[in-house]
Amino acid sequence: MSCAFTLLQSPVGTLTLVARGECLAAVLWEQERENRVRLGALHRDDQHPTLRETARQLGEYFAGQRQRFDLALDFAGTAFQRQVWAALLSIPFGQTRSYRDIAQQIGHPSAVRAVGAANGRNPISIIAPCHRVIGASGSLTGFAGGLPAKQYLLALEGRQSLALAF
């Protein structure tokens, strides 16, 4: 199935919003790593209802007027990845979790590295808040949008005290 996309200018750069049918399938970063998210054929559709609604809700989020998103999501991945991404959706606004916390939540306490890998392949960034997952020490760790974007998103949500880890 072909996917529709549009571009959204945001405080963290140009985001590519992608819909598959009536569901949001991806929020991609300006400097997206090739093949991090596999979507197939894309065509631009700036009037797609799902993409327009996603852009509206993201605008509210960046303006500090939205803490939860209300969008139909289409996660394409393995069963394990979908478990991790579902766990991301449960992290409340303004809170963080470690990779170990997520591994324990999904019933795989020894799969911390696998959780990290799945988190890194989250196709629906910001909406499924992978930026809320941090290192066990409380430091910021890898992020597809880059650590400055992760720091910005966490600061927007009231978590300014977190430090970058390189």
Q: How many CB atoms lie within 10 A of CB 160?
A: 9
The answer to whether 154 and 131 have CB atoms below 8 angstroms apart is yes
The answer to whether 37 and 28 have CB atoms below 8 angstroms apart is yes
Query: Quick check: helix, strand or coil at residue 76?
Result: coil
> Which structure tokens are listed for 155?
């600061």
Helices 112-120 and 79-89, axial angle in degrees (round to 10): 80
What gap in Å lies between CA 49 and CA 55, rounded to an integer?
10
Residue 23 a catalytic site member: no
Annotated active-site residue in 12, 24, 111, 130: 130
Calculate ∠ Cα 32-129-31, nearest 5°: 10
Q: Which residues are catalytic?
A: 130
